């Protein structure tokens, strides 16, 4: 089918080969793995690096186990990152069944070894507790997608249940190529993981993998590629179907087959595959051995489980290691198949371990590591470098997200909480601690920032107008304030007020730390009084199920002459973008 292209490549006539490939792509939409290989090889020889990279990506999407594509990917990375090149050749070796080509792949690997490239093998540690069906699916997927040189260690935590008459221990005892330890009592997730890590080969990197997961072709490969993106990466994590820490995909499907198709689509080379994070979910967390040796094992105070991954993440962060989410690594997660069958017990443990974490680190990790992804659409991506300041930046999670998604940009932060600010400096160096209402901002130049972010800040201030006026001189004439502000008119508040209730809460519109309350009109008045004009407004809705009585009160409220339009009662939070008039 591609004989003419192959002939041109064999005679080193790459320019004509490239023209033929372009012509074939114009005439047919049937792009396949062979054409991807030919296009990538031609682009490689011509020095068209970006085109080569994209051709390999399209090819792997079609044929995820094509060893020639991974070999070409290794050639691409030879000029970028020798460790990642080695991993590509290793993946090509895993998929290759052609003995002659295998010799060529091994020769490339040996050349890198002679240059001092040394990538540890991987030990995969899986905790088992009941859930035999899910464990079977997990192990079967691993055996299909990772080399046998990778060590698989399974720690069974005293399983008791049977699925279809077969217990998980009985199943595991029949498996080859795994190291199995059967505990007589359930020691919990952190202690069980530590058992596995101690049994791992001493120089191997570690993948902590939940037993209720399914890995797809190249899911683990791309985690390893992220781990060796540079020497400062200490841990990587996957995207998944059900998981926290902002690692859950937006798409949701009804079958494993559909999730597998999704994995084929995303488990490919990407231009920007990584996002740095403060914390990674432990369901599929890959750890560089030297980083783990530095920070130590999982803290067993968090047994039976939950928050041990946050604790490990923070220890890595404070030792100046980077944590990366790999957007091109998707792993399916059934979610809490072992832990969450007794939901009341699960949430009790979750609450208890949150307290343990607060006592250890003196911070509410859930509050101070929120990523405000909804801010990103209000900020334009620019080819020129932009400067962003966030007031109330917590541990810098939002700034890190914006830095990765809006590059090139410089990010700066101001945070009131001294502990959050001290942790944040290991993630975002340009963070200062202080009270925005009283502190001096002379460390910043006038007209410095393209964007100043105030996410859920103004309602906490004694004098929000004074702060807006204070920040104005640090905003470029073309710059914007972007703020999120809760709406006191939301029907959840109004209905209670009509019944005589105005009760402060730990969070939400009536957060007990809120000093000022705003409606949309009052927001416009405040910005206008400070010399700003609001150029964009969006409302965030939160639907709450009402009782029949409250439904009737709300219906009657909407019929009162002169009452504001219904949308004012439906918006839970306003997002506003304002510029200097």
Helix 67-77 to helix 82-95 angle (10° resolution) is 170
Chain mean pLDDT for the chain: 95
CA distance 91 to 120: 14
Cα dihedral 32→34→37→42 (10° resolution): -100
CATH number at residue 559: 3.40.50.150
Residue 247 sits in a domain whose CATH number is: 3.90.550.10
Q: Does 149 score more than 90 pLDDT?
A: no
Three-state SS for 578?
strand
Distance CA 54, CA 76 (A): 11
pLDDT at residue 164, rounded to an integer: 57
Round to whole Å and give the CA distance between 521 and 516: 14
Confidence of residue 486 (pLDDT cuts 50, 70, 90): very high
Residue 2 contacts residue 24 (beta carbons within 8 Å)? yes
Residue where one domain finishes, among candidates 79, 114, 149: 114
What is the pLDDT confidence band of residue 380, given thresholds at 50, 70 and 90?
confident
For residue 384, name the pLDDT band (cuts at 50, 70, 90).
Answer: confident
Residues 74 and 165 reside in one and the same domain? no
Confidence of residue 30 (pLDDT cuts 50, 70, 90): confident
Q: Which of 40, 36, 51, 46 is nearest to 12 (CA)?
A: 46
Q: Are residues 390 and 517 in the same domain?
A: yes
| DSSP 8-class letter at 189 | H
Q: Is residue 312 located within the same domain as residue 414?
A: no
The pLDDT score that the predictor gives to residue 113 is: 97
User: With bands split at pLDDT 50, 70 and 90, how would you rate the model's confidence at 161?
Assistant: confident
Query: Between 339 and 40, whose confidence is greater?
Result: 40
Stretch 244-261: mean pLDDT, rounded? 95
Do both 127 and 86 map to the same domain?
no
Give yes or no: residues 435 and 518 share one domain. Answer: yes
CATH of the domain at 83: 1.25.40.10
User: Looking at residues 81-100, what average pLDDT do you find?
Assistant: 97
φ, ψ for residue 297 (rounded to 5)?
-75, 180
What pLDDT, on the 0 to 100 scale, is given for residue 483? 98
pLDDT at 345: 87
Same domain, 14 and 65: yes
- Residue 340 pLDDT more than 90? no
Q: Which helix (H) or strand (E) holds 449?
A: strand 449-455
For strand 284-287 and strand 386-391, is the pairing parallel, antiparallel, or unpaired? unpaired
Long-range contacts of 295-298 (CB under 8 A, 24+ apart): 295/234, 295/319, 295/321, 297/190, 297/193, 297/194, 297/197, 297/198, 298/189, 298/190, 298/191, 298/193, 298/194
What share of residues in the chain are helix, strand, coil (percent, to 5)?
45, 20, 35
Tell me which H or E stretch contains 261. Answer: helix 256-266
Q: Number of folded domains in the chain?
A: 3
Q: What pLDDT, on the 0 to 100 scale, is given for residue 165? A: 56
Quote the percentage of the chain above a pLDDT of 90. Answer: 92
| Residue 338 scores a pLDDT above 60 | no
517 burial type by CB count under 10 A (0-12 exposed, 13-18 middle, 19+ buried): middle
Final residue of a structural domain among 361, 380, 411: 361
348 lies in the same domain as 458: no
Residues 65 and 206 both lie in one domain: no
What is the spatial distance between Cα 484 and Cα 155, in angstroms, rounded to a whole number? 46
Q: How confident is the model at residue 339 (pLDDT cuts 50, 70, 90)?
A: low
Cα-based distances in Å from 448 to 388, 476, 477, 478, 555:
9, 6, 10, 11, 49
How many other C-beta atoms can be found within 10 angstroms of the C-beta atom of residue 86?
23
Can you give the pLDDT at residue 335? Answer: 79
Residue 232: Cβ-neighbour burial (10 angstroms; 0-12, 13-18, 19+): exposed
The helix/strand/coil state of 478 is: strand
331 is written with which tokens? 């792993």
**Sequence-ordered list of residues with C-beta below 8 angstroms from that of 476, at least 6 positions apart, any chain:** 447, 448, 449, 450
pLDDT at 383: 72
The model's pLDDT over 411-429, given as tens digits with 9 standing for 90+, comes to 999 999 999 999 999 999 9
Whether residue 160 is found in the same domain as residue 289 = yes
Residues 315 and 324: beta-carbon distance below 8 Å = no
Query: Of 326, 77, 320, 146, which is closest to residue 226 (Cα–Cα)?
Result: 326
Q: Are residues 325 and 287 in the same domain?
A: yes
Q: CA 570 to CA 305: how far, in whole Å?
A: 39
pLDDT at 382 over 90: no
**What's the CA angle centered on 222, arms 220 and 224, to 5 degrees?**
75
Residue 581: how many other CB atoms lie within 10 Å:
9
Mean pLDDT of the 498-526 span: 96
| Residue 250 CA to its chain's centroid (Å) | 12
Rounded to the nearest angstrom, the gap between the alpha carbon of residue 581 and the centroid of all alpha carbons in its chain is 38
Counting every residue, how long is the chain? 581
Residues 6+ apart with CB under 8 A from 148: 177
378 near 577, Cβ under 8 Å?
yes
Give percent of the chain with pLDDT exceeding 70. Answer: 98
Structure token pair of residue 167: 């217990």
If pLDDT is split at 50, 70 and 90, which confidence band does 337 have? Answer: low
Q: Is the peptide bond before 167 cis (omega within 30 degrees of 0)?
A: no
C-alpha span between 335 and 333 (Å, rounded) = 5
Confidence of residue 407 (pLDDT cuts 50, 70, 90): confident
Q: Do 417 and 566 lie in a common domain? A: yes
What token pair was written down for 526?
Answer: 């405040």
Q: Which of 463, 461, 471 is nearest to 513 (CA)?
A: 461
* CA dist., res. 549 & res. 566, Å (int): 18
Residue 43 domain boundaries:
3-114
Which phi and psi (to 5°) does residue 106 adopt?
-65, -35
Residue 419 CB contacts under 8 Å (≥ 6 apart), including other chains: 361, 362, 363
pLDDT: is 148 or 172 the higher one?
172
Residue 352, token pair as written in the block = 């208890």
Q: Which of 114, 145, 161 is the last residue of a domain?
A: 114
Going by their DSSP bridges, the two strands 475-486 and 409-415 should be labelled as unpaired
Look at residue 336 in the predicted model and tell me its pLDDT: 62
Choice among 86-90, 169-173, 316-320, 380-384 with the minimum mean pLDDT: 380-384
> 147 is written with which tokens?
């080399």
Q: Give residue 28's pLDDT.
A: 85
Q: Contact, 378 vs 331, CB < 8 A?
A: no
Read off the DSSP letter of residue 547. P
Residue with tokens 């809460």: 505
What is the spatial distance between Cα 372 and Cα 151, in angstroms, rounded to a whole number? 38
Q: Answer yes or no: do 110 and 126 share one domain.
A: no
């Amino acid at each position: 089918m591609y004989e003419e292209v192959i002939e041109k490549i064999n005679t080193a006539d790459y320019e004509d080969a490239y023209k033929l490939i372009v012509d074939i792509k114009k005439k047919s939409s049937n792009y396949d793995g062979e054409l991807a290989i030919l296009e990538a090889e031609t682009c490689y020889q011509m020095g068209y690096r970006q085109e080569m990279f994209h051709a390999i990506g399209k090819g792997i999407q079609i044929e995820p186990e094509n060893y020639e594509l991974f070999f070409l990917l290794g050639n691409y990375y030879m000029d970028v990152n020798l460790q990642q090149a080695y991993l590509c050749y290793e993946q090509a070796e895993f998929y290759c069944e052609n003995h002659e080509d295998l010799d060529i792949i091994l020769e490339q690997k040996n050349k890198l070894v002679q240059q001092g490239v040394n990538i540890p093998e991987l030990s995969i540690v899986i905790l088992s507790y009941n859930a035999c069906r899910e464990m079977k699916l997990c192990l079967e997927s691993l055996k299909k997608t990772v080399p046998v040189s990778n060590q698989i260690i399974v720690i069974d935590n005293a399983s008791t249940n049977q699925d279809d008459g077969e217990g998980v221990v009985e199943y595991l005892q029949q498996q080859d190529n795994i190291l199995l330890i059967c505990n007589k009592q359930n020691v919990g997730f952190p202690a069980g993981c530590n058992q596995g890590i101690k049994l791992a080969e001493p120089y191997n990197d570690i993948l902590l993998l939940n037993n209720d997961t399914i890995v797809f072709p190249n899911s683990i490969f791309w985690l390893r590629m992220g781990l060796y993106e540079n020497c400062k990466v200490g841990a990587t994590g996957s995207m998944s179907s059900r998981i926290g820490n902002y690692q859950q995909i937006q798409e949701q499907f009804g079958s494993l087959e559909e999730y597998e198709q999704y994995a084929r689509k995303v488990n490919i080379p990407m231009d920007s595959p990584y996002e740095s994070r403060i914390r990674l979910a432990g369901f599929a967390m890959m750890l560089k051995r030297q980083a783990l040796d530095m920070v130590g094992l999982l803290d067993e105070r968090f047994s039976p489980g939950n928050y041990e991954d946050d604790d490990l993440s923070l220890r890595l962060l404070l030792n100046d290691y980077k944590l990366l989410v790999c957007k091109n690594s998707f792993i399916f997660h059934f979610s809490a198949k072992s832990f969450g069958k007794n939901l009341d017990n699960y949430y009790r443990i979750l609450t208890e371990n949150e307290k343990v974490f607060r006592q250890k680190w003196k911070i509410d990790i859930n509050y101070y590591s929120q990523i405000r992804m909804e801010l990103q659409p209000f900020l334009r991506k620019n080819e020129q470098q932009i400067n962003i300041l966030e007031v109330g930046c917590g541990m810098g999670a939002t700034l890190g997200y914006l830095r990765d998604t809006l590059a090139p940009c410089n990010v700066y932060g101001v945070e009131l909480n001294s502990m959050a600010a001290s942790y944040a400096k290991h993630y975002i160096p340009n963070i200062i601690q202080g009270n925005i209402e009283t502190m001096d901002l002379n460390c910043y130049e006038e007209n410095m920032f393209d964007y100043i972010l105030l996410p859920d800040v103004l309602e906490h201030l004694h004098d929000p107008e004074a702060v807006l006026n204070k920040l104005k001189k640090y905003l470029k004439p073309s710059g914007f304030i972007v703020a999120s502000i809760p709406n006191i008119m939301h029907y959840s508040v109004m209905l209670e007020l009509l019944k005589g209730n105005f009760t402060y809460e730990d969070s939400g519109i009536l957060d007990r730390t809120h000093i000022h309350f705003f409606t949309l009109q009052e927001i416009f008045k405040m910005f206008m009084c400070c010399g700003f004009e609001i150029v964009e407004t969006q409302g965030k809705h939160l639907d709450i199920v009402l009782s029949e009585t409250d439904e009737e009160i709300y219906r009657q409220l909407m019929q009162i002459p002169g009452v504001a339009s219904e949308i004012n009662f439906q918006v839970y939070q306003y997002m506003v973008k304002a510029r200097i008039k």
